[in-house]
Structure 1
Amino acid sequence: MAPAAASDAAPASKQESPEEHEHRETQSSILSINSARSESQESRTQHDEKNGGVWSTGLDGLDVGAGVDPQNTAELGMSRSQSRASSTRTRPAVVVPRGQRRGLLSRFTIVPEVVNPYDYKRVTKWGITATIAVATAAAPLGSSIFYPALNTISIEFNTTSTITNLAVAMYMVAMSIFPIWWSAFSEQFGRRSIYLASFSLFVLFSIASALSVDISMLIVMRIGVGGASASVQAVGAGTIADIWEPRERGLAMSMFYLGPLLGPLFAPIIGGALSQAFGWKSTMWFLAIYGGVIVVMLTLLLPETLAREKAAQPPPPRPPLISGNDTAAASLRRLSTRESTTLHAKKFTSAVYRFIFAPLKVLLILRFPPVLITVILAAFAFGSLFVMNITVQQQFAKPPYSYPELTVGLLYIPSGLGYVVGSLVGGRWLDYIMAREAVKANRYNDKGKLVYLPEDRLRENAWMAVTVYPCGLLLFGWTINYGVMWLAPAAGAFIFGITSMLVFSAATTMLTEFIRKKSSAGVAVNNFVRNLLSCIGTVVAAPWLNAVGPGWVFTATALFCMVISYTCVFFLQRNGPKWRKVMEKALAETM
């Protein structure tokens, strides 16, 4: 045995070459990542495989479990106390080697990619959230920065206000449609690559908009700007769901929404000042510069967060069926050439379907009542927001107010401040209500951890929001109608901003939880519907205001939104759990 042992040990003592050393190190890192990945996926999905449909807290995040499995009271109490004690500890993150990181330009990112994004430190999670929020601000910034300059553009291009408003309306159409593809691509190619590709296009289309020579070119280039900027609205919510556990996701989603809501706060001010000083084209150059800054931020600060999938084993190579010397080789080669041509044609057709038509299948989730009703709830509030934006631009620029462009831009501040307050207050309120309802219902899993339901987010907060935000619309509309001092309509806009934000954040968070495996899909559908309504609101607002006046416009809008919202909240609270279970069963069979 000794000689054998010595002979076995002999190769190990040899000096290994640099190539062998590098190969061994690479294999070791791959094995460690695969081991950590398997552990991460097992911890994330163990409840999902055994149970169905609700969220429960744990060290690895809030996994999906099914209701409460009654246990001995003493054992359950001990398990709960152990869970609370252990919840203060965090598991060390497994860092992916730089050479194996995913996404475009991934070697340049400062924040490392980890195997399980839940394991990031809180400061890192907030840093990623802030980066995404800044990027998300680009889309509303691109639309709102335009408002103070609409009259100037109409005069320069010698066209009507309705035609000029199409530069905003078509921008919103692009924002509603393109997230469907961005969302689908992000689930295939990762979040980071989609962010970098889309914002590079954002910069190019912004430059082209600044160089527009007529209204037609401007509208077309604005479609490109809107479509490119819309990626982060859907994919960004997916990133938040990637890194934050559901019990913390309400606050995180509200902070994420500060980006798109701060855009309307500052964009009209920036747009008014730039237009007044340098002309409307300076606003497009500002967008190009802003997009360039975002590209740099994303390159350096945003790692890939999409969950890794286990790589499939490649099939073993097939031996050749016939040698080159066989008499039938020539005819078989001709046959192989025809088959190869057919195969390439099939691959091309498959690629066209995969990249153009397959993403549209995400719209099929609207057939599920929880998704459809939640989307409608948010969409009508969002549509009324854009009716308000057009009204501010149109009414304050003419008598009795007759304010200049910069002053008109400043009058978008009240609603923007309302969004900020609603975001800061609403996120914590959502998380508090969700935890309170779980404790009240005594919903614990067999490990003593709280079990959360997405519908828990709609309680008194929802009823208050859908009652008050229509009242804000009424106050805004009638005070402008009678030419009351600007403080009165500003108060209405502020009230609307706070309470509509409660609706937006609750709806978006619920959609990421309804469709857990593809969290960005629900948000993409939400963007599709709400931006279509905002486009309609943008187009019809000006002629509608001219026909009946702002008082009756906002009376009709407020009453319609209140009726729709009350109906949505009622049915979600009453039938939400039952509908969700049916939906999850159907999704499990198709996704």
Structure 2
Amino acid sequence: MQEVRYAGAGTRENPYIVDWDRNDPENPYNWPKRRKWLITSQLAISTWTVSFGSSAYSGGLRFTESMFHVSEEVAVLGISLYVLGFGLGPLVFAPLGEMYGRRRIFLITMSVYTLMHLGGALGHNIATLLSTRFLAGVFGSSPLTNAGGAISDIWNPRERGVATSLYATAPWLGPVIGPIVGGFVSQTPSLGWRFSFWIMMIVSGVTLIYGFLVTPETYAPVLLRRRARMLEKGSGGLIHYVSKYEIHHSASLFEKLQINLSRPFLFLFTEPIVTLLSIYVCIAYSTLYAFFAAFPIVFQQHRHFTPGNGGLAFLGVGVGTIIGTCMTPIQNRMYWRAMDRSPTGRAPPEARLYLMMGVAGLLPVGLFWFAWTSQPSVHWMLPVAAGVPFGTGCAQVMQGITAYLMDAYHIYFASAIAATVVLRSMGAFAFPLFCPLMYKKLGDQWACSVFGFLALLCTPMPYLFYVSNLTVEL
């Protein structure tokens, strides 16, 4: 280990305060870029994997109904309970990641998540299928928060734009690809709808192995705490060391658990920034999951598409999401200019919202477009194309909000993003359940227009944050 002179006297009352040296090779910010990109790829793949698992099930909904003799509403619970798990898991795994390290939590939760797919692949009743789907969502939620925290651990604010966009976009691309794979697998007699679960298990198993091999611990408080303990152990306990993050934190384990586990709730209910942005993400994300119930109605029931072709209708959303991701360099340049103009060399978090302000309106545009072109008399290409502006708007909303929170909440980003994941997952749990009833009562046009009006109400939000110039002091 590199020799560093630490502040303090090395006594129990005045221990050495362990901090990073300027060019410390163990500081994640100083790791080689090739290693950082390898880690970033693993983090993005892990969030894509669990998001893919949320929707791959939807391609076999009709087969699930006939196999277990259940209604459409009960079959859709396989999606809703999964994303409900997404909402509950981060309340535990994000704080635990900040206490014990992101790598350890990822490996444990991803291992359990991989095994949970056996319930769908081998289960003989709907109760087994639904309960294991819920547990898969709970344990699969870990990458949705801790992966973003790891990205903020290894990339400094100037560099993290593209990495953040990959992490933020993956949860949108996964649900888009899932119905396509699930639809074609389910309608193939030699495979059957259960084979989708084997695919999910294989993909998550590969992701787990990749994470084990590629991604080390990245969280600075945990790394410095380990270094302090190693130095103290190396001195035979005669010289005392403490991490700079633990100087004023002498709480017991129970108190630490209480503080850390309550932090996402505190952010959600006491931080207006987190509350409002969580609502915005919730509307966009929940609408995407409502489409998993709406698209089979619009394309399979009304236009008589096969499950596989019905899944292909999500390609419009996928193309839009990719376009939104490819726009990231534009936002990066605007952010760098803000950094250069700042006397401190550090841009405010609001500088992450420039591009989001420009394209957020695409989200309601896409929804109204889809709503009023969804009737069978209109060519199918028009409602599919409506997914492009919707996907572009969703991608930029998610990227802008993620980057904003990352800059605003620093080492507590995982807990801040956990608050948004909780609310968006609750919405994604509910929307697919009442979506079929909405389409029956309101019709295709007005049912989707409801989502469009909700998105329209949220559109001014990035302007509000930019004009207000809100800051966070932690």
- TM-score, normalised to structure 2, is 0.87
From the superposition, tell whether residues 436 and 296 of structure 1 become closer, same or farther in structure 2 (CA, over 3 Å): same
Partner in structure 1 of residue 350 of structure 2? 455
Q: 2:129 is paired with a residue of what secondary structure?
A: helix
SS at match of 1:558: helix
Whether the aligned pair in 1 keeps the contact of 2:18 and 2:224 (CA below 8 Å) is no
2:322 counterpart (390, 409, 420):
420
Corresponding position of 2:198: 285
Q: 1:304 to 1:438 in 2, by over 3 A?
A: closer
Q: What residue identity is the alignment partner of 2:279? A: I
Counterparts of 1:434-473 in structure 2, within 5 Å, are 434-439=335-340, 442-445=341-344, 450-459=345-354, 461-473=355-367
- How far residue 39 of structure 1 moved from its aligned partner, in angstroms, is 8.3
Which position in structure 1 is the counterpart of 2:224?
A: 309
Offset, 1:215: 1.4
Q: Secondary structure of 1:246's partner?
A: coil
* Per-residue deviation, 1:173: 0.6
Q: Deviations over 1:151-194 (max 9, x none)?
A: 11111111110111111111111001101211111111111111
Q: Which residue of 1 aligns with 2:136?
A: 225
Letter paired with 1:360:
S
| Residue in 2 that maps onto 1:121 | 32
Corresponding letter in the other structure for 1:207: L
Matches within 5 A, 1:176-187: 176-187=87-98
Aligned residue number for residue 147 of structure 1: 58
Cα distance, 1:295–1:431 mapped onto 2, change above 3 Å = same
**Mapped pair 1:481 → 2:392:** no
> Would the alpha carbon gap of residues 150 and 483 (structure 1) be closer, same or farther in structure 2, given more than 3 Å must change?
farther
Question: In the alignment, which of 196, 201, 207 is matched to residue 294 of structure 1?
Answer: 207
Q: Give the aligned partner of residue 466 of structure 2.
A: 573
* CA positional deviation for 1:402: 0.7
Aligned to 1:268: 179
Residue in structure 1 matched with residue 81 of structure 2 by the alignment: 170
Find the aligned partners of 2:115 and 2:305 in 1 and give their Cα distance: 33
Q: 2:291 aligns with which of 388, 399, 422?
A: 388
More displaced 10-residue stretch of structure 1: 496-505 or 557-566: 557-566
Matched, 1:433 2:433: no
1:508 positional shift: 0.8
User: What is the alpha-carbon distance in structure 2 between the residues aligned to residue 254 and residue 564 of structure 1?
Assistant: 21
SS in 1 for 2:335: helix
Mean CA deviation greater in 568-577 or 159-168: 568-577
Equivalences for residues 182-581 of structure 1 within 5 A: 182-277=93-188, 278-307=191-220, 308-310=223-225, 311=228, 358-366=260-268, 367-399=270-302, 401-425=303-327, 427-439=328-340, 442-445=341-344, 450-459=345-354, 461-566=355-460, 568-577=461-470, 580=471
Return the offset for 1:42. 6.1
* Pairwise CA distance, 1:495: 1.2
**TM superposition shift of 1:545:** 0.9
Q: Which residue of 2 aligns with 1:85?
A: none
Q: Contact conserved, 2:186 with 2:196, CA < 8 A, in 1? A: yes
Q: Confirm or deny: 8 A CA contact 1:147 1:393 kept in the other structure.
A: no
Partner of 1:6: none
Shift of 1:351: 6.4
Task: State how far apart, in whole Å, the 2-side matches of 1:509 and 1:132 are.
Answer: 16
| SS of residue paired to 2:216 | coil
- d(CA) in 1 for partners of 2:158, 2:260: 33
Q: Is the 8 A contact 1:481 1:549 kept in 2?
A: no
Distance 1:150 1:355, change over 3 A: farther
- CA distance in 2 between partners of 1:357 and 1:306 (Å): 18
Closer, same or farther in 2 for the Cα pair 1:239/1:479, shift >3 Å?
A: same
Tell me the distance in 2 between the aligned counterparts of 1:154 and 1:435: 52
Query: Which residue identity lines up with residue 382 of structure 1 in the other structure?
Result: Y
SS at 1:280 equivalent: coil
8 A contact 1:434–1:453 mirrored in 2: no
State the secondary structure of the residue aligned to 2:454. helix
Name the SS of the counterpart of 2:159 in structure 1.
Answer: helix
Q: 1:357 to 1:151 in 2, by over 3 A?
A: farther
User: Does structure 2 retain, via aligned residues, the 8 Å contact 1:140–1:263?
Assistant: yes
Letter in 2 for 1:142: G
Equivalent residue number for residue 249 of structure 2: none
Tell me the SS of whatever aligns to 1:134: helix
Contact 1:377-1:507 at 8 Å conserved across structures: no
Q: Which moved more, 1:209-218 or 1:540-549?
A: 209-218
Q: Which amino acid aligns with 2:131?
A: V
How far 1:499 sits from its partner (Å)?
A: 1.5
The separation in 2 between residues aligned to 1:357 and 1:169, in whole angstroms, is: 30
Deviations 1:109-145 (A, max 9, x none): xxxxxx1111122221111111111111122111110
CA distance in 1: counterparts of 2:364 and 2:372, whole angstroms:
12
Distance 1:374 1:431 in 2: 21
Per-residue deviation, 1:572: 0.8
Provide the TM-score with structure 1 as the length reference. Answer: 0.71
Distance in structure 1 (CA, Å) of the matches to 2:192 and 2:4: 54
Bigger drift between 257-266 and 245-254 goes to 257-266
Task: Give, in whole Å, the separation in 2 of the partners of 1:226 and 1:501.
Answer: 22
Aligned partners of 2:169 and 2:395 also within 8 Å = no
Query: How is 1:127-142 mapped onto 2 (pairs within 5 angstroms)?
Result: 127-142=38-53
Distance in 2 of aligned mates of 1:394 and 1:215: 22
Question: Residue 569 of structure 1: CA displacement?
Answer: 2.1
Residues 171 and 225 in structure 1, CA contact (< 8 A), matched pair in contact too:
yes
Q: Decide whether aligned partners of structure 1 residues 372 and 42 sit closer, same or farther in structure 2, where only a CA change above 3 A counts.
A: farther
SS at match of 1:373: helix
Q: Is this contact kept in 1: 2:19–2:224, CA < 8 A?
A: no
Q: How many residues align?
A: 442
Q: SS at 2:386's partner residue? A: helix
CA contact (8 A) 2:176 2:314 kept: yes
Amino acid corresponding to residue 140 of structure 1 in structure 2: S
Give the structure 2 partner of residue 80 of structure 1. none
Amino acid of the residue matched to residue 41 of structure 1? W
Give yes or no for contact 1:118–1:244 (8 Å, CA) kept in 2: yes
- Residue identity opposite 2:198 in structure 1: W
How far, CA to CA, are the matches of 1:569 and 1:190 in structure 2? 32
Specify the code of the residue in structure 2 equivalent to 1:433. Answer: M
Q: Percent identity?
A: 24
Is residue 251–residue 430 contact of structure 1 (8 Å, CA) maintained in 2? Answer: no
The DSSP-based 3-state class of the residue aligned with 2:304 is coil
Question: 1:353–1:544: structure 2 CA closer, same or farther, 3 Å change rule?
Answer: farther
Q: SS of 1:543's equivalent?
A: helix
Q: Sort the Cα spacing of 1:196 and 1:548 in 2 relative to 1 into closer, same or farther, 3 A.
A: same
Amino acid at match of 1:456: A
Deviation at 1:438, TM superposition (A): 3.9
Alignment of 1:44-83 (within 5 A): none
Distance in 1, Cα, partners of 2:407 & 2:415: 11
Query: Which stretch shows the higher mean deviation, 155-164 or 478-487?
Result: 478-487
- Report the alpha carbon displacement of residue 213 of structure 1 after superposing the two structures with TM: 1.4
RMSD: 2.5
